[in-house]
Amino acid sequence: MKKLLLICLLSSNAMATFTNESELSLVNTSGNSNVENYIGKTKSKIELESNSFQLGGHYTYGTADKNLSARDWDIFAGADHKLSEKVSLTFLEQVEGNKFAGIKIRYNTDLGAKVSLFKTEKNNIDSELAYRYTVEENTLDITDHFNKALLALGHTYEHSKALKVESRLEYVANFTTSEDWEMKVKTSLYNAINSSFSLKLSYEWAKDNLPVTGATPYDRKFTTGLIAKF
């Protein structure tokens, strides 16, 4: 894994291209119930010819009738090395937590490949297959180690420069505990305001087939946010 990062750093002497995408979402309802949810996300990317490096994360904080109802977060750093127009090697380190899903802290290490399956002017279908090693401490203070596999499929449809739809399906198989698999589906609609700002509507559905005792196996999230790109 360290060798992959070193190869990415040394194999290019071109000028780097830096981009950042940040998102802020707010949900506030009142009446029969008072609910407030705040979501912040950011992702920075540096591209060096056939190599790219990513750093980012997110934080969600929510209350219902002034009681804490949602809190989850993650921080990640990764690198991709392009082997061809369609295939890239990928490496990712992630730390995450989700109080209401029973995850006190979880460390994920991914190593695999990304493959472009289909690409036209308006449509792009890509996939990712990776080995994942996980160290997880749950809210019951039990620590487990898992060997997993990540299988992901993504589709992007660009209707115009102002309108885009992205969908992604993720399945995580657990070789250590076979019944403890996870699945996530996310669809997002982007409407550009100008070259720097966009509105985003997003729906996310997730299932943990073997959640911690007391946690529900399903999570659903609908958000409206403002995205800034630089």
Q: Using one digit for the tens of pLDDT, what is the confidence trace for 3-47? A: 555 555 555 445 789 999 999 998 766 666 677 899 999 999 999
Average pLDDT value for the chain: 92
CATH number at residue 196: 2.40.160.40
pLDDT at 12: 46
* Core vs surface per residue 104-135: b (16+ CB within 10 A) or e: bebebebebebeeeeeeeeebbbebebebebe
The mean per-residue pLDDT over the stretch 129-148 comes to: 97
Instruction: Identify the weakest region by mean pLDDT among 76-80, 82-86, 100-104.
Output: 100-104
Domain count, the chain: 1
d(CA 173, CA 155): 21
pLDDT in tens, 169-186: 999 999 999 999 999 999
Q: List Cα–Cα distances, 158 to 8, 39, 166, 197, 227, in angstroms.
A: 30, 25, 9, 16, 17
CA–CA distance, 12 with 110 (Å, rounded to integer): 23
Alpha-carbon span 81 to 49, nearest angstrom? 9
- pTM here is 0.88
Contacts 24+ apart (CB under 8 A), 69-72: 69/35, 69/100, 70/37, 70/100, 71/98, 71/99, 71/100, 72/96, 72/97, 72/98, 72/99, 72/100, 72/101
Q: Which two tokens stand for residue 219?
A: 């999570």
Beta strand ranges found along the chain (DSSP E): 17-29, 35-48, 51-64, 67-82, 87-98, 103-119, 123-138, 143-158, 163-174, 182-192, 197-208, 218-229
pLDDT at position 215 is 84
Q: Which residues contact 71 (CB under 8 A, 6 or more apart)?
A: 60, 61, 62, 98, 99, 100
Side-chain half-sphere of 68: how many Cα atoms within 13 Å?
A: 7
The more confidently predicted of residues 29 and 130 is 130
Q: How many CB atoms lie within 10 A of CB 210?
A: 12
Beta bridge partners of 10: none
Find the mean pLDDT for residues 220-228: 92
Domain housing 25: 2-229
CA distance 49 to 168: 26
- The pLDDT of 195-217, averaged and rounded, is 92
